[in-house]
Structure 1
Amino acid sequence: MNDIKTILVPVDGSEGSDRAVDFAINLAQIYKAKLDFLYVANINQLAINACLSDAILDAVTKAGDAVLDGALAKVPQDVESEAFSETGSPAVTILEFAEDNKNDMIVMGSRGLGVVKGVLLGSVSQYVVENAKVPVSIVK
């Protein structure tokens, strides 16, 4: 774990995500690592085989920007950080981003799904844990 130079922190504005941001900031200070905050607009969930209006895309973009701005505002000046916004399936996009950007670790919040919903719907955090090529820390 001494080689942690960049930490990917997927954010969505939830309480779990906020706790993950706080935890990642502490880790970044310990390891002198950079934080990459990633907001993924789940466009797949918004519309399947449909054209999204400019108004919907604009609203999704503004929501993502607000979440990212909130995460960045928590970061002390001595910690390097950057914000990114993507669209697509959150779990897949998170893993692709981590690989493309050579992140050394992923820190993310848990959705807290119940057992039945978790089995039926799947969970972004579970998918990331099972498929990531780097260490993943799930914050509750």
Structure 2
Amino acid sequence: MYSHLLLAADGSKNALRAAHEALKIASAMPGCKIEILFVIDNSKVKEEVLHSQNQEEREYKRHQKLLPIEEVFADQGIPHHFTTIHGDPGPAIVDYAKKNEIDLIILGSRGLNALQEFVLGSVSHKVVKRASCPVMIVK
């Protein structure tokens, strides 16, 4: 059924819940690979640079945000791989999924209200709208 899952993760509580759902799916399918994708939003890099002393510190902080997600899979012995890319998160996730023959994209919902979603757009909405494979949004 699914052999290659993409978990889009940003270190949030919703991303952690999405990781638990990805774990359930992967556990039921022997040989299933999980790709954990972290997209560095170019519009937020400036703020990161201003609040850190060097590149190593930024990398360390990013890793710390994703550590609980990694532990979900490591604790259960589920094969997983981290990938970090730069770009606008919604389109970047979709492009990555297409290029890497992903069977299912799993991501957390940030829970924007209707006005925020209308004005800003949500990553999950952009992914659902553009993806060519199934997408699971976890609340």
Q: Same fold (TM over 0.5)?
A: yes
Q: Which amino acid aligns with 2:89?
A: P
Distance, in Å, in 1 between the alignment partners of 2:58 and 2:92 is 16
Distance, in Å, in 2 between the alignment partners of 1:56 and 1:111 is 29
Question: Structure 1 unaligned runs (5+)?
Answer: none
Alpha-carbon shift at residue 56 of structure 1 (Å): 6.2
Name the TM-score, length of structure 1 as normaliser: 0.86
Distance, in Å, in 2 between the alignment partners of 1:131 and 1:57 is 32
User: Where does residue 63 of structure 1 map in the other structure?
Assistant: 61
Distance, in Å, in 2 between the alignment partners of 1:42 and 1:23 is 24
User: Where does residue 109 of structure 1 map in the other structure?
Assistant: 108
Percent of pairs with identical residues: 28
User: Where does residue 20 of structure 2 map in the other structure?
Assistant: 22
| Contact in 2 for aligned 1:41/1:60 (Cα 8 Å) | no
Question: Structure 2 unaligned runs (5+)?
Answer: none
User: Where does residue 129 of structure 1 map in the other structure?
Assistant: 128
| Contact in 2 for aligned 1:5/1:31 (Cα 8 Å) | yes
Alpha-carbon shift at residue 69 of structure 1 (Å): 2.9
Residue 31 of structure 1 aligns to a residue in which SS? coil
User: Where does residue 92 of structure 2 map in the other structure?
Assistant: 93
Distance, in Å, in 2 between the alignment partners of 1:10 and 1:119 is 22
- Count of matched residue pairs: 134
Alpha-carbon shift at residue 57 of structure 1 (Å): 4.7
User: Where does residue 12 of structure 1 map in the other structure?
Assistant: 10
Alpha-carbon shift at residue 65 of structure 1 (Å): 1.8
Q: Which amino acid aligns with 1:18?
A: L
Aligned-pair Cα RMSD in Å: 2.0
Alpha-carbon shift at residue 137 of structure 1 (Å): 0.3
